[in-house]
Structure 1
Amino acid sequence: MKQLLTFVKKEFLHVLRDKRTLMVLFGMPIVQILLFGFALSTEVKDTKLAILDQDKTQTSMELISKIDANQYFDIDKNLKSINEAEDAFKGGKIKMILVIPAQFSQDMNSGKKTQLQLICDGTDINLANQIYNFISNIILDFYGQQTLHANSGVQPEIRMLYNPQLKGAPNFVPGVMAFILLIICVLMTAIAIVREKETGTMEILLVSPMKPYIIILAKAIPYFILSILILISILILSVSVLDLPIQGSLFLLFGISIIFIITNLLIGIVISIVTDSQQTAMLISLIGTMLPTLMLSGFMFPVENMPIPLQVVGNIIPAKWYYEIVKNIMIKGTGLEVVWKHLLVLLGMMTVLFIIAVKKFKIRLE
């Protein structure tokens, strides 16, 4: 333990001496959380819908069939009551619920004004707006109208669940958390260990009385602690600056974040073991982890719209599962009963990476 603490102290001093690295570590998350929270927006689309048909007439069935036949939507559930709405959203697949009111067919045929209610998942405001626009067009086409006027027979009414103020932060904060922690853990850890190889000090450390795993732990622990501090800073900025309260369990969010951080540290260690230069480690980190995280994790683009091979690749990215966990806990206020499958996937990835790191490191020592 004393040897471990000595090496941890040495690594901390090395990090603290590098002012540019510290500026990147702490300046980048602050800039990105503010930039993504206030300025950046994208348009995405999804297909999973649920229907609550309180009318149950031929007219309502024709409208449902028209929606289901559209290539952008897939009716995943038929609800029996409005009380099932929130449970449907917590599952993570449903992005919108269409509520067809009772007497809908009768009011339409008699020329009375009636409304269709659209309840959208407001954690992704761009996706919700996209869904609303598509559904409105389908309804317009269904009634043979070009625009919706105040005196129209049917008008869709939208409600944003979890985000009634229509903010962009609920979508981007979880993604920024996953991306920043990935950068700190994977890139910085891989480069820190490979740097020792390039300077020739790794061989000196390996022939010392120190156990190899102590050397690896000493390299990883400072970035683990820095990642925890950065996680805390992101959460503080989210609550205080972006006005995005944590709806679920803070303890559960921290616990799963620690597992995600350890998983990323192991990725960085594996990269450092199989590479011999900082340039190679950086290239593998950028192409193998950061780019797939941005493109395939669901942060920038919805996974459901991607080709099946890309969806399969996305499922082996730890950030995809962490992103969904953060959205469920932080924004929707769900608990372990909803995210336990995602947690098991992260634990499985962490275990596999640990086994690979241990075996690869032993091979290199032989």
Structure 2
Amino acid sequence: MKRFIGFIKKEFYHIFRDRRSLFILFGMPIAQILLFGFAITNEINNVDIAILDHSKDASTEEVINKISASKYFTVKQILTREADIETAFKKGKIKAVLNFEKHFSRNLIKQNQATIQIITDATDPNTANSITNYINAILQNYQQEKNRAIVVEYQIIPQARMVYNPELKSVFMFVPGVMTIILMLVSAMMTSISITREKELGTMEILLVSPLKPFQVIIGKVVPYIFLSVINAVVIVLLSIFIFKMPLQGSLILLALESVLFIITSLALGILISTIAETQQSAMMISLMGLMLPVILLSGFIFPISSMPVPLQIISNIIPAKWFIIIIKGIMLKGVGMAFIWKETLILMGMTLFFIGLSVKKYKIRLE
């Protein structure tokens, strides 16, 4: 045990001495251009919405059909009561709810106006604002079509209400993404570089024949990065709460456990990268292309995944950061519990086991 603790201390000293591990090499410009060209978009497409229709008359059916006929929205759920709205949002699929008032058609005819409440998920303020604007545009178009045939103009009054982020603060969107990037950077990239460095210098074989067992060598390599990642996570959460006034609606313990799970997932991915790369430079390049760009572009951190081409939407499912960002936003902004994020948690666990299993297999092949 003393040897193991001494080995961990040595790793800490080595991390702080080696400044090269703090720099990231940028490359593969073609891949970057392709990813940026397809992923960066301010448009929304195929956004899942829900309908709460208290009136259920011909006019509301016309409005719903007009909205669902557009390429921008897909009606995924029909709600029956007000209490179902929060549940629909917490599941993470629905991004907006259209709430039609009672006697919609009658009010439109007798009072020349009727009300539709647009409720959007503002955990992503840019997307929420775009959704509201798109729906308003469709309603205005519907209103113009109806007014062509009558002398007295009807008037539909949309009422927008933002939930979870009513002030549309962009920091509510960026904090989860920044936290994800930092944890991925420290955990995966630096771990892969650290282990690859030993292979490149020829000291890995020496470590493997030392009194320490192979699994102790790997654990000793990753423990410092677990420690650094946990510190980073704590600092980010504290800054987001006390400096940026970001709410923490859910359980702090659940957030901590999910963060540790993501750190372990990233570490397992870093170990896997180290089995592939032969040099530190190649480890950096693989980490950059395999981690950094997908985290920024394909995780839903900045750009809505539903607006991307279908192939990129499929690829995004294998990005661990996508599921972790959903978890963070759910816990911090929506106050959800494990009942709503169990699927994302199981996906991260499955990815962790897959990365570890594949890494162990590849390391055995190398040792043989």
What is the TM-score of this pair, normalised by structure 1? 0.90
Helix, strand or coil at the partner of 2:248: coil
Task: State whether residues 240 and 246 of structure 2, in contact with CA within 8 Å, keep that contact through their aligned partners in structure 1.
Answer: yes
Q: CA deviation at 1:203?
A: 2.6
Note the residue ranges of structure 1 that are not aligned, 5 or more in a row: 26-40, 146-150
2:179 aligned residue (142, 158, 177): 177
Helix, strand or coil at the partner of 2:83: helix
CA RMSD of aligned residues (A): 2.1
Q: CA deviation at 1:355?
A: 0.9
Any idea what the Cα deviations from partners look like across 1:224-256, whole Å, max 9, x if unmatched? 100000000000010011100211011111111
Amino-acid identity (%): 47
Task: State whether residues 194 and 278 of structure 1, in contact with CA within 8 Å, keep that contact through their aligned partners in structure 2.
Answer: yes
- 2:3 match: 3
- 1:269 match: 271
- 1:305 match: 307
1:80 maps to 2:80? yes
Q: CA deviation at 1:19?
A: 6.3
Q: CA deviation at 1:111?
A: 4.1
Q: Aligned ranges for residues 107-256 of structure 1 at < 5 Å?
A: 107-144=107-144, 153-256=155-258
Structure 1 segments (4+ residues) deviating >4 Å: 18-22
Task: State whether residues 42 and 300 of structure 1, in contact with CA within 8 Å, keep that contact through their aligned partners in structure 2.
Answer: no
- Aligned-partner Cα distance in 1 for 2:121–2:292: 27
Q: CA deviation at 1:18?
A: 4.3
Helix, strand or coil at the partner of 2:93: coil
Q: Which amino acid aligns with 2:17?
A: R
Q: Which amino acid aligns with 1:138?
A: I
- Aligned-partner Cα distance in 2 for 1:217–1:328: 31
Q: Which amino acid aligns with 1:54?
A: H
1:336 maps to 2:331? no
Q: Which amino acid aligns with 1:134?
A: Y
Q: CA deviation at 1:8?
A: 0.4
Helix, strand or coil at the partner of 2:144: coil
Task: State whether residues 143 and 154 of structure 2, in contact with CA within 8 Å, keep that contact through their aligned partners in structure 1.
Answer: no
- Aligned-partner Cα distance in 2 for 1:44–1:358: 43
- Aligned-partner Cα distance in 1 for 2:231–2:199: 28
Q: CA deviation at 1:42?
A: 7.9
Task: State whether residues 187 and 266 of structure 2, in contact with CA within 8 Å, keep that contact through their aligned partners in structure 1.
Answer: yes
- 1:103 match: 103
- Aligned-partner Cα distance in 2 for 1:191–1:92: 35
Note the residue ranges of structure 2 that are not aligned, 5 or more in a row: 25-39, 146-152
Deviates more, 1:290-299 or 1:115-124: 290-299
Task: State whether residues 98 and 117 of structure 1, in contact with CA within 8 Å, keep that contact through their aligned partners in structure 2.
Answer: yes
- Aligned-partner Cα distance in 2 for 1:350–1:167: 33
Helix, strand or coil at the partner of 2:76: strand
- Aligned-partner Cα distance in 2 for 1:349–1:343: 10
- Aligned-partner Cα distance in 2 for 1:160–1:211: 55
- Aligned-partner Cα distance in 2 for 1:100–1:201: 69
What is the TM-score of this pair, normalised by structure 2? 0.89
Any idea what the Cα deviations from partners look like across 1:6-43, whole Å, max 9, x if unmatched? 11011111123346867x79xxxxxxxxxxxxxxx984
Helix, strand or coil at the partner of 1:322: helix
- 1:284 match: 286
